[in-house]
Structure 1
């Protein structure tokens, strides 16, 4: 007797129920389709921060800051000191001591 395989194209796993394997059957039950819904990308909830949110609607930096301080604070403008020295073609800056 031959075992039937999952009806999803490219999946060769044995059927668990309704013609689907265990993984695809749970997706059909949960989402109504074998395709996974796309997650919405969220940004950090701190005003002025455009980094992607990881946990608690905060980016990694503000989440770590919240662990040590009562408030993550506003996003400070990024400081970029031009500095002295030369810029290498790979993007690194070389500094020279006098």
Structure 2
């Protein structure tokens, strides 16, 4: 859990993913389209990826990827991010965390 928290707080936007996950790819693309450059941590390429995946599940991220953090705060998985995007609050979260500028 400590490793996840440490990585999640190092950049304004952080996404934990797996390289084979299509929803992870979609969420990363959404962030890039909004002008953010999130830190990406692919759990299937991390030495402690399995432990990090369990930590994400313990945070309530089901499925465990993609897991999105903005401003060091866990905001959810793909369905949560899409909901925030649809209601317009995702962009504001990114602006508030200084992940994008307007």
- Give the TM-score taking structure 2 as reference length: 0.22
Larger Rg: 1
Q: Where is the strand percentage greater, Structure 1 or Structure 2?
A: 2
- Give the TM-score taking structure 1 as reference length: 0.22
Higher relative contact order (CA 8 A, sep 6+): 2
